[in-house]
A and B are shown apart, each in its own frame.
Chain A
């Protein structure tokens, strides 16, 4: 993410690990050759996914991984019942409890 002069732009994401203005070369390559499709999830969708997985399954995903859960929640209703949807839950959310608690007004 840069401006017209090549200066790096400030970023924001509720997830610290995604609060970064660049993308790694492997991801760029996979996108360019069409092997992977990339979509965007906003803070509210990620937080909703974090709460849902925590409440329904007792699994607390990292806020980074919550973005993947949010995307899965969008895709699942469009799929057949016997199709398999695999989510890589890349990190655990213990580290993000203080972030979510602050947003939800919970004292920890």
Chain B
């Protein structure tokens, strides 16, 4: 069983929901990411989504676009991101790590080379925003052969026949994008999300994580009441941006935000 599935099983047995923070690797500088990952785990993160910086992050709002720019100003590459995961794994063998990003850097590396390298580094899941399941006939099986989960996005506009298809192609968890927009968008309607999750659950037993638009303790708690996982990114990345000139403060400050969400979710 993958680390992701074990993680959700354990949480379910405890009656808790997964807190899944997202940060962009290499933002604002290469040395920050590793201590930040450990700090977030210490303050209650269950799964870490690590963004692979990309020049054209078309699903991301301005906050994560700027995070990519900061990371790319140091030429943070896919190889660098995998190296961070390998380093993280030396002291943490249980927390799942999901790479979130776009296909092009992976395609340039080569699917097979990437599958092997990701497996060696200890990556548990891959979410490529711009790779729909129809285009993943080669990529998907290569990942699965290395026991890496391929995670897909579902949108508020995804029709039911497509929900079925996407759920069948994915593994680990399903990522429900809670708003019609890019990351960091506002106005999350929890009732609407709950209705959509009911539809999604007709088609899969996989855990459903909800992201895009969760910005504080209250929204994290509200979503945790209806979803299996709460994915939070932009609000953490905003804090990283604020502290770009005081990098040693980043791990503690960001972990404090995710830790506070953890407490709100567990109440």
Contact = CB atoms under 8 A, between A and B. Distances in A.
Interface of A: 2, 4-9
B56 A6 contact: no
Contacts of A5: 75, 77-78, 105, 108
A4 B56 contact: no
Contacts of B104: 2, 6-8
B3 to A, nearest CB: 27
A42 to B, nearest CB: 24
7 contacts: A4-B108, A5-B77, A6-B105, A6-B108, A6-B109, A8-B56, A9-B55
Interface centre among B55, B108, B109 (most CB of A within 10 A): B55
B106 interface: yes
Contacts of A4: 108
Nearest to B77: A5
A52 B183 CA distance: 48
Interface in B75-128: 75, 77-78, 104-109
Contacts of B109: 6
Q: Is the interface of B mostly helix, strand, loop or mixed?
A: helix
Contacts of B78: 5-6
Interface in B214-263: none
A8 B108 contact: no
Q: Is the interface of A mostly helix, strand, loop or mixed?
A: loop
Interface of B: 54-56, 72, 75, 77-78, 104-109
A39 to B, nearest CB: 26
A107 B84 CA distance: 55
A2 B78 CA distance: 14
Given A5-B108, A7-B104, 19 more contacts: A2-B104, A2-B108, A5-B77, A5-B78, A5-B105, A6-B78, A6-B104, A6-B105, A6-B106, A6-B107, A6-B109, A7-B54, A7-B55, A7-B72, A7-B105, A8-B55, A8-B56, A8-B104, A9-B55
Contacts of A8: 55-56, 104
A9 B109 CA distance: 17
Contacts of B55: 7-9
A30 B75 CA distance: 35
Contacts of A9: 55
A95 B19 CA distance: 51
A5 B114 CA distance: 13
A98 B108 CA distance: 39
A5 B110 CA distance: 11
Pairs of residues from A and B, 5 with the lowest C-beta to C-beta distance, nearest first: A6-B108, A6-B105, A7-B55, A6-B104, A8-B55
A6 B113 CA distance: 14
A9 B104 CA distance: 12
A8 B105 CA distance: 9
B134 to A, nearest CB: 14
A6 to B, nearest CB: 3
Nearest to B78: A5
